[in-house]
A and B are shown apart, each in its own frame.
Chain A
């Protein structure tokens, strides 16, 4: 139901998104049947396509060309997909979006090669945009995302983290790519520098909120809704915002210690999730997300009215209320 609701915000851009979907599928065609199957496997599993839609919407604030915007949109979605394929190797995850992961269906090495293949296709797509800043921004973004993941591994199971550490981590993990989606979309359409800056900041703030909500949902959703076990972040040793708020609670500490082993009795996992849900930590995290969304909406205020501004506003509202 929620998925339909997000897609309904894309209504005005349905034709453009359909074109991008076809381009995504075309991009991962391969002469190797296994690479093709592995790449299409994740693509067909769907996803919110929030990066492509941000590119399309941001490009509307300049001289819009679907062809140019699509090259960037496809590239960003493929980079996101490639990182997911590799993340599943790192997290030893067997399920994503309710489907077997590439590493589970084949093996770790195929997942590495499929991820690298998808990454190459991302560069093929954006390589057709002959604007140096576009490439420099994207390259920096990719390196920062990677740095964020390296730091996340380095911080695994470390309980002496603070809010600042968490915010820096989710900035790199999610906000930067959404921020770059808006920035590159606007740049591809030669929007003026003020508009580019506002859209970039909008993408950053919504990205921060998006990840905080994602981290909340990892605790509040059911396994079926997530397509993987709830509480996976903690089981993988990652301290998210709700957990940050109760990590020093004496009654919670034993749960966290057991979660860090990666294996918990089912009843113990459920008890841990209930404990977090009832602690007030979820509400505190939601409040931080709301603050980011207010900032995001503020960036849109001075932009010209139109279907794109309206949809960006609705997406920010949706992120605050999303349930999956």
Chain B
């Protein structure tokens, strides 16, 4: 598969996700919902690697995209003052996207995924609250929670559809790119910028996770070389 093919597939998914979560008032007053392209690419990893992709998987993947967008919007709510019309609508936009995620799962209907995703959503919010209010003291524990926040729903999706062998890749990539964003001072893109470790520590962890990712990619015999190249591009220092 060529890189152009990857880009098209991710673009196509984002286009469908935008259509699924569309809400006219929110769109008019708040603008486009933030859709994380990197996260979308990791969610679509089995598809990009040529796995059989059914309509049910596509609908479930859109549901995951909707809940990710809900998380991202709710992460932008001001901690002290959310009284502006824009912030009020963002609270409701997130709730709307959550509702869309449930509607999509109900349309399949996939009861198992409703249950397993609901537990993942609960866990994500527990982790986010911990990171916000009472973060663990070690960088390792913090990275572990960040990995859970970003990957928990994707992991449930992979496990539901027999793609468990991709789990270790996403679990490594997420904390890795969080550290890369922090080094690039890409704080707007980042979640929990207040938890960024010192420059020296960041580099140590980047090196460690880079090594871990390289090992995992080397051992993932089923990954096409083009997919490996894409992942390397995503995690390029």
Q: Are B132 and A127 closer than 8 Å at their CB atoms?
A: no
Interface centre among A83, A120, A130 (most CB of B within 10 A): A120
Known: A32-B130, A90-B82, A150-B26. A113 touches B95 (CB 8 A): no
How many A residues touch the partner, as a band? Answer: 35 or more
Q: Are A130 and B111 closer than 8 Å at their CB atoms?
A: yes
Q: Are A140 and B103 closer than 8 Å at their CB atoms?
A: yes
| A140 contact set on B, CB distance < 8 A | 103
Task: Say which residue of B83, B93, B103, B117 sits within 8 Å of A139 (CB atoms).
Answer: B103
CA–CA, A32 to B98, complex, Å?
A: 22
Task: Say which residue of B75, B114, B132 sits within 8 Å of A110 (CB atoms).
Answer: B132
Which of A12-20, A57-65, A151-159, A162-170 faces chain B?
A151-159
| A117 contact set on B, CB distance < 8 A | 121-122, 125-126, 129
| A35 contact set on B, CB distance < 8 A | 125-126, 129
| B107 contact set on A, CB distance < 8 A | 136
Known: A107-B79, A107-B80, A135-B106. A120 touches B88 (CB 8 A): no
| B111 contact set on A, CB distance < 8 A | 127, 130, 135
Q: Are A112 and B74 closer than 8 Å at their CB atoms?
A: yes
Q: Is A116 located at the chain interface by the 8 A CB criterion?
A: yes
Q: How far is the CB of B175 from chain A (nearest CB, A)?
A: 20
Query: Interface on chain B toward A: helix, strand, loop, or mixed SS?
Result: helix
Closest B residue to A153 by beta carbon equals B88
| A106 contact set on B, CB distance < 8 A | 133
Which of A141-149, A218-226, A314-322 faces chain B?
A141-149
13 extra interchain contacts, Cβ-Cβ under 8 A, other than A124-B122, A135-B105, A140-B103?
A: A30-B126, A32-B126, A34-B130, A109-B75, A120-B121, A123-B117, A127-B118, A130-B111, A135-B106, A139-B99, A142-B98, A142-B103, A143-B96
The interface of chain A, by Cβ under 8 A from chain B, is 30-35, 38, 83, 86, 89-90, 92, 106-110, 112-114, 116-117, 119-124, 127-128, 130, 132, 135-136, 138-140, 142-143, 146-147, 149-151, 153-154, 156
